[in-house]
Amino acid sequence: MATACIYPFLLSLSFTFFMFCSASTEADTLLSFKAFIDDPKNSLSSWSNTSGVHHCNWTGIICIPTPSLYVSSINLQSLNLSGEISSSICDLPYLSQLNLADNLFNQPIPLHLSECSSLETLNLSNNLIWGTIPDQISQFDALKVLDLSKNHVEGKIPETIGSLVHLQVLNLGSNLLSGSVPLVFGNFTELVVLDLSQNAYLVSEIPTDIGKLEKLELLFLQRSGFLGEIPASFVGLQNLTNLDLSQNNLTGKLPQTLGFSLKKLVSFDISENKLFGSFPRSICDGKGLKFLSLHTNLFSGSIPNSISECLNLEIFQVQNNGFSGDFPSGLWSLPKLMLLRAENNRFSGELPDSISKAAQLEQVQIDNNSFTGKIPQGLGLVNSLYRFSASLNGLSGEIPPNFCDSPVMSIINLSHNTLSGQIPELKKCRKLVSLSLADNSLTGQIPPSLAELPVLTYLDLSDNRLSGSIPQGLQNLKLALFNVSFNQLSGTVPLSLISGLPASFLEGNPGLCGPGLPNSCSDEQAKHHSSGLTTLTCALISIAFAIGTVIVAAGVFVFHRYSKRKSQIGVWRSVFFYPLRLTEHDLIMGMDEKSALGSGGPFGRVYNISLPSGELVAVKKLVNFGSQSSKALKAEVKTLAKIRHKNIVKVLGFCHSDESIFLIYEFLQKGSLGDLISRPDFQLQWSLRLRIAIGVAQGLAYLHNDYVPHLLHRNLKSKNILLDSDYEPKLTDFSLDRLVGEAPFQSTMASEFAHSCYNAPEHGYSKKATEQMDVYSFGVVLLELITGQQAEDIESLDSLDIVKWVRRKVNITNGALQVLDPKISNSSQKEMLGALEIAMRCTAVMPEKRPSMFEVVRTLQSLNSRTCLPNLELSTSEDQSLPV
């Protein structure tokens, strides 16, 4: 403050003297600011008084000529800086913008920056800022832009924040704020952007005075703990373009005049709340609406045909409500519509042929409604359509021959309708993954052309009136599901379709014959041929396996010798993120057979090492494929080390040479969940297993959604889940792709773990790793917890892996009860069945059928609260020493 008063005075006193003086002071100020900053990549190398570069030309600096050159803006975002944000920077009298976003500053909110008299913009987004927002936040009353998003700021928002009356942007999203939001937002009359989203611990009504913010354009309150009604005052948000209130706990009716008032709306999302009442009329009055989502609420009544005036609409989602009446027919032909979801309502009406005008349409999901009439020819003309799902309706008539003509079509579900006639030849949809026509009245043969669809994985033709034999060619497909039960099929079943899939998929076709079926084929020759084939296949598999073992063994041997020799002479570099008293020498000396755990994963072994200081650490030794520079590698490890989550193992540091990378993790005494399950005396109580499942799910959800950059685990299995002394699970071995490089990662996974049952079915053909693949692996781990069986212990799983074993059992009446671990008392049966249902969804064949980890966490937690048992309830004798 004092500086601000003195400067005008000095200026008038001696202009020339001051100019000279200020140039050197400003550079010095910047240098002393730099002195407190840790700059690992040397991004601030130009910041130097010997470089000969004027300080206005230093990295990130912008000067304004008022009255001579003064620093007005410092932008140092995304440079991986850490250290201290020194208040010395406030000696720059004209500094108006400070952007330190996307760095690693780890400290409370730097209140001392309020001394910067001209500061208008402060951006500290995506750092490691922690602690509460102090009452003194009011000192920032000159700020126009405050962005503290994506940090670890916690506690209540203080009332004093209401003093920041000049704010135009306030972003507190993705933090750990809690409690209720104070009623001071009406003070922010200049506000254009308000973001309080993703603060899961807030429990608050939406402050009614937000409705006073006439200038507000963007309002993001999604995924926080808002409850109660949407304030009627929202009709005052005349300038609002984007409103997101999704995934809260809002109740009550939507203010009816809302649509009428908010004429500038582009995006309107109130999905996943408990709102009711009728569809917001006039929502399209402004014509600009592109995104409309009301899904998963309790809305009812019909949707007015005026919705077809939304000529710019791209996304329309009203699924999971109680809407009824004729579906607005104009909606089907909106020229920009891409996604239409209306499943699980009670809509009626027919699909018009004019759907062909929806030239951008990609996805239609209208399952579980009361649509009637024929599937229009026009549908086959929409070339962008890749998903059409209209099961559980009253659609009738023949399937038009062109209906799978879209070159990108991959999912069709027309099950549970009253379609008749033959299944047309499907030749053009080379991308078709899933075809379900179950429970219709289709006749004729299974078209042999199905066998030529290269990625077809899921085929359900059950419960129709199909006849003839099962085309031999279908054996060539990698079908995960093939259900032709309850038809009138006959003849020999192709062998691989019998051996690989549950018998229930063939039942109800008395004319079918083959080994293992009620009817053996009368044709002896066919029988001979097939048993010969089995023997041959077995022999081939054993030979292949033997060769594989030899190759792997030889590889391990060579690698071992090679690395032993090199590791003693190589040049080592280490980086520690925690104060470890440790040298590479200690690590190498500590790595012997005695300290090695298990046989190691695909990328190398883990060793438990006791440091000279007495501390224990776990060290994973990876092959350094040399796919990235030492600098890039360091940056990648840093990304992993920055993660702070109770369910993720801490990376303490790493050392690397040209040959190896040693990742140093915290040590956890209970070993891995996989080891625990494999013990013959494994018998954890259900409440504890559920707690482990929730912890694992939370860790994954954090990697997927909350951590920036978003990460994938890519190698989740029970062996990679470690347990601390309280059985709190921690994920390890995550995101190794970032260290070894994508190509070596993929080829290692493909060579050694291609057939692991933790891998999702699409692992084979999908080039891109996805969150859904992690969800699948999680489902497998959950099955292990529910059944008490190891996923790949095929001896006790009838020669199957756990997923197939459970799926076969579950298809039988009361089979679900048979898969539950018998060592757990019946009193937990209900919760275990609940968990089984989640596990089945996670391991769904169709990736998009799998829930998000966020949803998994929520569902598992709801099971937990139902259990009402103490959290720790142990039974094994060994476990009794644990704290309760």
Ligand X SMILES: *[C@@H]1O[C@H](CO)[C@@H](O)[C@H](O)[C@H]1NC(C)=O
Beta partners for 628? none
Q: What is the DSSP letter of 711?
A: -
Identity of the amino acid at 642: K
Instruction: For residues 516 and 532, give the distance between their C-alpha atoms in angstroms, rounded to a whole number.
Output: 16
29, 199, 344, 363: residue in contact with ligand X (rule CB under 6 A): 344
- CB closer to ligand X out of 334 and 414: 414
Angle of the 829-842 helix axis to the 802-810 helix axis, nearest 10 = 120
Instruction: For residues 758 and 746, give the distance between their C-alpha atoms in angstroms, rounded to a whole number.
Output: 15
82, 88, 117, 171: residue in contact with ligand X (rule CB under 6 A): 171
Residue with tokens 């081939």: 540
38, 135, 159, 592: residue in contact with ligand X (rule CB under 6 A): 159
23, 56, 455, 882: residue in contact with ligand X (rule CB under 6 A): 56
Structure tokens belonging to residue 446: 């299974």
To ligand X, the closest distance from the beta carbon of 483 in angstroms equals 4
128, 165, 176, 455: residue in contact with ligand X (rule CB under 6 A): 165
Our finding on whether 137 is near ligand X (CB under 6 A) is: no
Q: Dihedral sign for Cα 336, 342, 347, 348, please.
A: positive
Our finding on whether 263 is near ligand X (CB under 6 A) is: no
x-or-dash string of contact with ligand X, 108-127, rule CB under 6 A:
---------------x-x--
To ligand X, the closest distance from the beta carbon of 575 in angstroms equals 11
Q: Which part of the chain contacts ligand X (CB under 6 A), choosing from 483-491, 566-574, 763-771, 866-874?
A: 483-491
To ligand X, the closest distance from the beta carbon of 753 in angstroms equals 26
To ligand X, the closest distance from the beta carbon of 719 in angstroms equals 26
- CB closer to ligand X out of 54 and 465: 54
Our finding on whether 162 is near ligand X (CB under 6 A) is: yes
Distance of CA 80 to the CA centre of its chain: 24
3-state SS, 163-185, equals HCCCCCEEECCCCEEEECCCCCH
To ligand X, the closest distance from the beta carbon of 286 in angstroms equals 13
To ligand X, the closest distance from the beta carbon of 188 in angstroms equals 9
Instruction: For residues 460 and 436, give the distance between their C-alpha atoms in angstroms, rounded to a whole number.
Output: 5
- CB closer to ligand X out of 121 and 770: 121
To ligand X, the closest distance from the beta carbon of 576 in angstroms equals 15
- CB closer to ligand X out of 84 and 873: 84
**Cis before 744? omega within 30:** no
Q: Which part of the chain contacts ligand X (CB under 6 A), choosing from 129-137, 343-351, 374-382, 791-799?
A: 343-351
Our finding on whether 458 is near ligand X (CB under 6 A) is: yes
Which residue has the CB atom at the shortest distance from ligand X?
162
Our finding on whether 416 is near ligand X (CB under 6 A) is: yes
209, 244, 269, 463: residue in contact with ligand X (rule CB under 6 A): 463
Strands (E) located in 461-595: 467-468, 481-483, 488-492, 511-513, 573-576
Our finding on whether 272 is near ligand X (CB under 6 A) is: no
To ligand X, the closest distance from the beta carbon of 504 in angstroms equals 6
Our finding on whether 483 is near ligand X (CB under 6 A) is: yes
Our finding on whether 61 is near ligand X (CB under 6 A) is: no
Q: What is the DSSP letter of 648?
A: B
Residue with tokens 């349409």: 361
Our finding on whether 214 is near ligand X (CB under 6 A) is: yes
Structure tokens belonging to residue 250: 């809002």
x-or-dash string of contact with ligand X, 616-655, rule CB under 6 A:
-------------------xx-xx----------------
To ligand X, the closest distance from the beta carbon of 491 in angstroms equals 19
392, 432, 643, 696: residue in contact with ligand X (rule CB under 6 A): 392
Our finding on whether 166 is near ligand X (CB under 6 A) is: no
Our finding on whether 345 is near ligand X (CB under 6 A) is: yes
Our finding on whether 758 is near ligand X (CB under 6 A) is: no
Our finding on whether 142 is near ligand X (CB under 6 A) is: no
**Torsion-angle region of residue 492: left (phi > 0), alpha (psi -120 to 50) or beta?**
beta
- CB closer to ligand X out of 281 and 858: 858
**Residue 703: CB partners within 8 Å, gap ≥ 6?**
643, 648, 710, 711, 712, 713, 731, 734, 735, 774
- CB closer to ligand X out of 218 and 723: 218
Task: Kindly identify the residues of this chain, within the stretch 501-530, that bind ligand X according to CB under 6 A.
Answer: 504-505
14, 45, 49, 875: residue in contact with ligand X (rule CB under 6 A): 49
To ligand X, the closest distance from the beta carbon of 321 in angstroms equals 8
- CB closer to ligand X out of 414 and 716: 414
Q: If we measure between CA atoms, which residue out of 580, 658, 649 comes closest to residue 620?
A: 649
To ligand X, the closest distance from the beta carbon of 309 in angstroms equals 22
Our finding on whether 105 is near ligand X (CB under 6 A) is: no
Structure tokens belonging to residue 64: 């304004």
Angle at 43 between CA 42 and CA 47, to 5 degrees: 95
Distances (CA, A) of 654 to 60, 622, 647: 31, 11, 20
The distance in angstroms from the start CA to the end CA of the chain is: 55
- CB closer to ligand X out of 80 and 302: 80
Task: Kindly identify the residues of this chain, within the stretch 72-91, that bind ligand X according to CB under 6 A.
Answer: 77-80
- CB closer to ligand X out of 415 and 867: 415
CB atoms within 10 A of CB 669: 10
Task: Kindly identify the residues of this chain, within the stretch 276-305, that bind ligand X according to CB under 6 A.
Answer: none
**Cis before 67? omega within 30:** yes
- Alpha-carbon dihedral 347, 353, 359, 364, rounded to 10 degrees: 30
**Residue 360: CB partners within 8 Å, gap ≥ 6?**
314, 335, 336, 337, 338, 384
To ligand X, the closest distance from the beta carbon of 241 in angstroms equals 9
To ligand X, the closest distance from the beta carbon of 79 in angstroms equals 6
Contacts 24+ apart (CB under 8 A), 140-143: 140/113, 140/114, 140/164, 141/165, 141/166, 142/117, 142/118, 142/166, 143/119, 143/167
Identity of the amino acid at 381: L
Structure tokens belonging to residue 579: 């104060």
To ligand X, the closest distance from the beta carbon of 19 in angstroms equals 13
- Alpha-carbon dihedral 630, 598, 714, 434, rounded to 10 degrees: 150
- CB closer to ligand X out of 440 and 790: 440
Instruction: For residues 9 and 22, give the distance between their C-alpha atoms in angstroms, rounded to a whole number.
Output: 14
Angle of the 829-842 helix axis to the 853-867 helix axis, nearest 10 = 180
Our finding on whether 102 is near ligand X (CB under 6 A) is: yes
In this structure, the chain runs to a length of 884
Say how many residues touch ligand X, by CB under 6 A. 60
Instruction: For residues 484 and 490, give the distance between their C-alpha atoms in angstroms, rounded to a whole number.
Output: 11
68, 73, 239, 705: residue in contact with ligand X (rule CB under 6 A): 239
26, 147, 733, 801: residue in contact with ligand X (rule CB under 6 A): 147
Instruction: For residues 486 and 488, give the distance between their C-alpha atoms in angstroms, rounded to a whole number.
Output: 7
Q: Which part of the chain contacts ligand X (CB under 6 A), choosing from 283-291, 456-464, 721-729, 829-837?
A: 456-464
71, 95, 137, 145: residue in contact with ligand X (rule CB under 6 A): 145
3-class DSSP state for residue 513? strand
Give the H or E element holding residue 402: none
The residue ranges that bind ligand X (CB under 6 A) are 31, 49, 54, 56-57, 69, 77-80, 99, 101-102, 123, 125, 145, 147, 159-160, 162-163, 165, 169, 171, 184, 187, 214-215, 225, 227, 239, 249, 344-346, 367-368, 391-392, 413, 415-416, 434, 436, 438-439, 458, 462-463, 483, 485-486, 504-505, 635-636, 638-639, 811, 846
